[in-house]
Each structure stands twice: as C-alpha cells, then as structure tokens.
Amino acid sequence: MNGTAEPVLPETRLQEDGRVAGKRIRAPVLSPADPLVREGVLELAGGMALHHGGRLTRVCLAWRLVGPHNAPVVCALGGISASRRVCAGAEGWWAEIAGAERPLDTHRLRILSFDYLGGSGESSGPRDGESFPSVSTYDQAELLLRLLNHLGIKALRAIAGGSYGGMVALAFAERYPERAGRLLVLCAADRPHPLATAWRSVQREIVRMALASGRAAEGLRLARALAMSTYRSSEELGARFAGPPVLESGRFVFPVERYLLARGGDYAARHRAESFLCLSESIDLHRVDADRIFVPTIAVAVREDQLVPMADVRGMVARLGAGRFLEISSIYGHDAFLKESQQLSGAFAAALESN
C-alpha cells in the first residue's frame, strides 16, 4: 500500500451517552485547562492482509488524540503493554513524557496513539482461548497510515517510539516516508538481538505450557516476572533488593523475587496471555531495511539496556539515510525511555523541531 490518502471515513466519536463503538465508557470531566481529547474505534472495511500471511476479515483500531485543535501531531508508541492512553493521568503509560509542559507538551501538540493490533486493548486481537495470526511491525505501521487517512492528517510532525513502538516507527518510515517528518527511536533497532529473542522465547514457552494446562494467568505472571528482570539494570536491582530473604510458609522469599512476581501479577491481571504471545513474537519477527529509511531519525541507546545493545543501535544509525545516534546511561536499563524525562528532553526537542 502506498501513501496515497484514502477517503476519510466517518469517525466513531465519544458520544454524550458515553459510548464508543457500542461499548459504554465513562465520559471524561474536563476543566478549561485540560487538553481536548478525541477518541474512537476505526473499523476497516474489507479487513486486512497481514505481512506474514493470512488475512483478518474484520479489523477494529482503537485510537486517541489529545491536544489543541490544528496543532502539529506527534504519534507516541510504546512497548507491547502500552495502550492508546499515553498522556499524564491515572492511566497514562508515558506520564513522565506526555502531558502539559512535558517533552510531549499537550498544550502545543496533539498526541496520537492507538491500541496495537493483537494486543489486550480495544483494537482487534485474540480473545481467551483463541489463536491469532502472526503480526508484523509493518502491519502496525499500515494501521497507523489508515488512521492518519481516516483523521485527515496529511503528515506527522514526528513519531516518538520506545521499545516495540520504536520498531513500528522504523517500519512506518521505511514504507511511508512522506507521512512522517522525523523519528525519535528509543531503545529499539532494526532487528532484535538473538539474546533478547532467547529470553522472550522462554517467556512464550512458559505461557504456552500454562495455556495448555488451563493456568494462563499464572503462566503470564511468571513470564512477565522473567521479562521484568531483563528490563531493568543489574545496578538498580542490586541497589534495591540486596536485603536478606524472609522465611514464609516454610521457604525463603527473596526481596527481588517478591518484586518481580508482584509486577508479574499486576500485568497478568490486565493483559491476555494470547495477546502477550502475539506481540512478543512480533518483536522477534521484526526486520526492517535501515538502508531504505531516509526520514531524519534520532536513535537513543542506553548503556545498561540488556535487550537492545548499544552496538546494535549504533550500527543501525550508520545505515540510515539521515540518522543521529545518542547515548545515555540509566539504572532503569531498557525502561529508561519510560523514566528518564530529563535526560531525554533534548532528544525530544530536536525531534520536534519544525521541518
């Protein structure tokens, strides 16, 4: 599919009765200082052919746009657990970055995001016990293109993507370069490192075994706990959890064990095991051709990132048509893109400059 604009389809709006695409939601209560919020669910007529084969006969894409009318639009995309709710607030996953007077300032910009295809949000994805075809970052990029056409947005000021979102940003820039002014790619590269794939492969096998035994939530809890140990740095875990274990119910429980399993439990309560399998696999299927990406790109690597080695990001930047490499250090490791608003403020400022 090329970048030619499609007809703008009728939009599913937030109605006065609080319904979006047939689902009742709580209508927001806004003060005069709050940014304008639009959201809806786009249904793709005719479905969608997928990059890795197969076809979805019905595709729904849940989206959200926050910020002043007619302001430049930045698409913000995060990891596989991120949702369309980006901005500061109770549910905003990028609260350190997106919101009033933050690097993605909702007083000056419109922040666009969507629930990933295959995920646990309101976009199309597997339901409990259902299989779902393999999803590519190119598929997510095509959905973003369809969404821009639907909303009548000719081009984005930038795409800011962290982790899986950075991969989607790269796929979009390769396929639809005229629709994005710049990229800010955080903790992501043109392909996954085999060591990271090894860790995720074990996580997926845990979840598959749990699904087969009827214990999906327990398996997802363990898989996410293992994943958390790869997101953060050894320095952070050493500083926070060096204390002694506690004897409970006849066995020792270690401080880091308690933390990881608690985070895994929180995740399992909010996400589906089948969606985790789909999007975790999508990370490891990710491959883009950096030699074909000419959109100006700032790529940020974190020295302590266990999942995306700095050398991989540096190598990708050398192949980009207009790439710039930035390096930071953070105890948060791979999760630095969620936490380091001060260190990343300069990168955001550079990425958001007018073309």
pLDDT confidence bin for 15, thresholds 50/70/90? very low
Q: Is the pLDDT of residue 34 over 70?
A: no
Is residue 312 part of the annotated active site? The answer reads: no
Q: Is the pLDDT of residue 186 over 70?
A: yes
Share of the chain above pLDDT 90, in %: 86
Q: Which of 124, 163, 233, 282 is catalytic?
A: 163
Domains 29-193+290-351 and 197-283 share a fold: no
Please report, for the chain, the start and end positions of each structural domain, with discontinuous segments joined by +: 29-193+290-351, 197-283
Tell me the backbone φ, ψ of residue 182, rounded to 5 degrees: -150, 165
**Residue in the structure block whose two tokens are 């599913």:** 12
Q: Which residues contact 229 (CB under 8 A, 6 or more apart)?
A: 237, 256, 260
Cα 79 versus chain centre, distance: 3
Kindly report the number of other CB atoms within 10 A of residue 307's CB atom.
24
- State the alpha helices, DSSP H only, in the chain: 137-151, 164-175, 194-212, 216-231, 234-240, 255-270, 273-285, 310-319, 336-339, 341-351
Q: Which residue has the higher pLDDT, 9 or 355?
A: 355
Q: Is the pLDDT of residue 116 over 80?
A: yes
Please tell me what DSSP assigns to residue 179: G
Averaged pLDDT, 260-289: 97
Averaged pLDDT, 127-154: 95
CA–CA distance, 137 with 166 (Å, rounded to integer): 10
Averaged pLDDT, 249-261: 96
pLDDT at 131: 82
Q: Is the pLDDT of residue 11 over 90?
A: no
pLDDT at 127: 87
Topology annotation, domain 29-193+290-351: Rossmann fold (3.40.50)
Which CATH number is correct for 197-283, 1.10.3720.10, 3.30.70.920, 1.10.1740.110, 3.20.20.60?
1.10.1740.110
Q: Is the pLDDT of residue 19 over 50?
A: no
Classified as helix, coil or strand, 321 is coil
Q: Is the pLDDT of residue 246 over 80?
A: yes
Q: Which of 115, 305, 312, 335 is catalytic?
A: 305
**Average pLDDT across the chain, whole number:** 91
pLDDT at 178: 98
Averaged pLDDT, 39-68: 95
- pLDDT by residue (tens digit) across 341-352? 999 999 999 999
Q: Is the pLDDT of residue 208 over 50?
A: yes
pLDDT at 355: 57
For the range 192-200, what are the long-range contacts, defined as Cβ-Cβ under 8 Å and sequence gap of 24 or more?
Answer: 192/283, 192/284, 192/286, 193/307, 193/308, 193/309, 193/312, 196/230, 196/283, 196/284, 196/306, 196/307, 196/308, 197/284, 199/226, 199/227, 199/230, 199/307, 200/227, 200/280, 200/283, 200/284
User: Is the distance from CB of 162 to CB of 78 less than 8 angstroms?
Assistant: yes
Q: Is the pLDDT of residue 322 over 80?
A: yes
Q: Is the pLDDT of residue 106 over 90?
A: yes
pLDDT at 17: 29
Q: Which of 115, 286, 334, 335 is catalytic?
A: 334
Q: Is the pLDDT of residue 68 over 80?
A: yes
Is residue 305 part of the annotated active site? The answer reads: yes
Share of the chain above pLDDT 70, in %: 90
Kindly report the number of other CB atoms within 10 A of residue 310's CB atom.
17
pLDDT confidence bin for 8, thresholds 50/70/90? very low
Is residue 190 part of the annotated active site? The answer reads: no
Q: Is the pLDDT of residue 31 over 80?
A: no
